[in-house]
Structure 1
Amino acid sequence: MKNSGEIVLETELPKAPPSPAPQPASGLPGHLQDLSDRARGYVEAASSANTRRAYASDWKHFSAWCRRSNLTPLPADPQIVGLYITACASGTAERGMKANSVSTIERRLSALTWNYTQRGMPIDRKDRHIATVLAGIRNTHATPPRQKEAVLPEQLIAMLETLDRGSLRGLRDRAMLLIGFAGGLRRSEIVGLDLGRDQTEDGRGWLEILDKGLLVTLRGKTGRREVEIGRGSSDATCPVVAVETWIRFARFAKGPLFRRVTGEGKDVGPDRLNDREVARLVKKTALAAGVRGDLSEAERAEKFSGHSLRAGLASSAEVDERYVQKQLGHASAEMTRKYQRRRDRFRVNLTKASGL
């Protein structure tokens, strides 16, 4: 373990992860300079803006802990990283903060691994100082994941009825809820949509309106995937009609699909919505519709989020499981089953089938 014996100045530590693309030499020909610039652009495209922000924040958190502990974050030292995740698990990594959850610690460790790799200092996560400590943290502190409540079709319809159909905001929110549910989309995928292909730098996908429905193309970590959203059985619950209506009254022809409504609800701005707006929308409409009225308001607010739409489709679509798996973009059927809140777990009874 490296101890510098002195406090490391904050100015010595980068506030955000540097680009791994090599910096061009001073005499680099112009055409290679262009390639270098493009390489940095591709590096940015390799991970989402949210991921990069989270990794930068975790590196800053680690660096601050190192300063307070009179340690240096560079070069990579597995023993220092092991002590850091121990501090995170025990609640001593930051003054006045509670212990981090196992999922947060694993994310922080992934961020450190990424940051060290970009600096040309790969760190071995299998090193005993890291792997053994992390295994102990998981065994001691791991808890079952808290799944968000699935929004079921009858609940979604009630939520839609709480929205004002005569306002731009109501039309937008209606389209967001319906396309999020019918597409099984993540909240970042909902707000990341553009009206057409390659219209914005921060877009995560685009849509095409066809006779039979919407074809949504999404960019992901493993490439592009297509999501087919068919038309509904009635205009009142049809995601395609909702999107078409929003576009028509919002009066824009390109750029982000879901934007801020300004001017006392009379104007549509150019800015893309933040993905947190999807979670707020689901919570607000679920509360207004009285969904899960058997629970307190605080409990209901905790149970619903943007993920509730995705889980709702998986739980309610009465089709072959492989179609749900494809719609959600899951690599395995096991992951899809985790989203199926109403799935009959005892549909196949092996106890009786064995003769008992």
Structure 2
Amino acid sequence: MKLSIPPAALPALNRDHLGQAAHQAVQELLQEGESANTRRSYQGALRYWAAWYQLRYGDRPALPWPPAVVMQFIVDHAQRSTPQGLVHELPPSVDTALVAARFKAKPGPMSLNWLIHRVAVLSKSHQLAGVANPCEDPLVRHLLGHTRRAYAKRGELPVKKDALTKDPLSALLATCDDSLKGLRDRALLLFAWSSGGRRRAEVSGAEMRFLKRVSEDAYIYQLLHSKSNQAGQDRPENDKPIQGEAARALSAWLDASGIQDGPLFRRVLKGGHLGPPLSPAAVRDIVKARCQLAGLEGDFSAHSLRSGFVTEAGAQGIALAQTMAMTSHRSVATVMGYMRTQSAQVRAAATLMDGERPGLNRKVPD
């Protein structure tokens, strides 16, 4: 069946180029579908690229960038071994200017993860612009690959936060009193930890509409969108159980705060009034502040809740599949990266020849 529309009803579209309205709609969908953390991270990386380029080349950058510029960025920020020790090519004057303008926190070389992230962001910006991508140049890829190997040979591994397993987490909970802020922090810590080690953005973005009470001491939180499920696919592991002590702490916070809808965790203002929802940075600050109050020694942050849950699950012999259902990991390699060496699974694998184990010392039948 052939359909027809009066000629004056709609403007003709160009099949090779998007119109202004469609282009705007595309940009809005891309922005809405991207997490706030990712957007801030990309914006910060691109600002650094632009500042470094202006200081190094005395001009404003424009896409596409030549591969030689990316290679210069790599050697400026990656350390290499020489007879004089570890060196890099970023001039001290440029380094000082970047720190003074707050593009860097401190002078000196950056971590390998930082460098790889910056290159990935520049690559993505070229892909989205539809121009030649210098990060895909064979020489750039070859240099970056060997830079990774050089760091690995020196034993410079990514620094991981310490894990908040059951015992140190209990020390944090002991610092939470019965004030409104104490009730909130206790509920927040247990919600994040017991539901599988939620990321800080998932905690700050938690809303009452996704929380369902199933009994006096149990809730189900439906995590529809996360870093490991950015498309919002309907999966069985989206339902995160919150039970026992975690459920009781959450009930105490909700009863005291009177929250019935909207954000689950909010700022507590002077006079006990509720403010806007917590930001991801505020979740991190709460964890750090409670660690300091508890007198814990180590490098802890919000991600310590995630590694702590995975490590504790291993220590208690929880099957890896069950742990992954709680954390929402899709890759065994990724979830194992969160497991610290104190895990019972790791220790048991290192002592296979020691003592008897169920099923391993059975008598062979005649």
TM-score normalised by structure 1 residue count: 0.76
Quote the offset at 1:258 in angstroms. Answer: 1.2
Alpha-carbon contact 1:86-1:133 (below 8 Å) kept? no
1:246 & 1:312 partners in 2: Cα distance?
Answer: 23
Q: Against the structure 1 CA distance between its residues 75 and 146, is the aligned structure 2 distance closer, same or farther, given a 3 Å change threshold? A: closer
1:119 & 1:126 partners in 2: Cα distance?
Answer: 15
Q: SS of 1:215's equivalent?
A: strand
Q: Against the structure 1 CA distance between its residues 244 and 91, is the aligned structure 2 distance closer, same or farther, given a 3 Å change threshold? A: farther
Name the structure 2 match of 1:70.
58
2:352 & 2:214 partners in 1: Cα distance?
Answer: 49
Name the structure 2 match of 1:280.
285
Tell me the alpha carbon deviations over residues 310-342 of structure 1, each in whole angstroms, 9 at most, x when there is no partner: 112111223211111121121222222222222
- Which of 251, 257, 262 does residue 258 from structure 2 map onto? 251
Q: Which has the larger radius of gyration?
A: 2
Name the structure 1 match of 2:148.
138
Tell me the alpha carbon deviations over residues 180-225 of structure 1, each in whole angstroms, 9 at most, x when there is no partner: 11021111111111111xxxxxxxxx43332242223141354236
Quote the offset at 1:91 in angstroms. Answer: 6.1
Alpha-carbon contact 1:62-1:73 (below 8 Å) kept? no
The 5-angstrom pairing of residues 158-237 of structure 1 reads 158-165=171-178, 167-183=179-195, 184-196=197-209, 206-211=210-215, 212-221=218-227, 222-224=230-232, 226-232=238-244
2:261 & 2:219 partners in 1: Cα distance?
Answer: 19
Name the structure 2 match of 1:86.
75
Q: SS of 1:245's equivalent?
A: helix
Aligned length: 298
Name the structure 1 match of 2:169.
156
Tell me the alpha carbon deviations over residues 285-326 of structure 1, each in whole angstroms, 9 at most, x when there is no partner: 22322334xxxxxxx3xx111111111211122321111112
Q: Does 1:45 align with 2:47?
A: no
Q: Against the structure 1 CA distance between its residues 39 and 208, is the aligned structure 2 distance closer, same or farther, given a 3 Å change threshold? A: farther
Name the structure 2 match of 1:338.
337
Look up the equivalent residue of 1:340 and give its one-letter code.
M
Percent identical residues = 27
TM-score normalised by structure 2 residue count: 0.74
Quote the offset at 1:154 in angstroms. Answer: 2.6
1:159 & 1:220 partners in 2: Cα distance?
Answer: 26
Q: Does 1:24 align with 2:33?
A: no
Quote the offset at 1:255 in angstroms. Answer: 1.9
Name the structure 2 match of 1:112.
122
Alpha-carbon contact 1:195-1:253 (below 8 Å) kept? yes
Q: Against the structure 1 CA distance between its residues 164 and 62, is the aligned structure 2 distance closer, same or farther, given a 3 Å change threshold? A: same
Alpha-carbon contact 1:160-1:174 (below 8 Å) kept? yes
Quote the offset at 1:351 in angstroms. Answer: 7.9
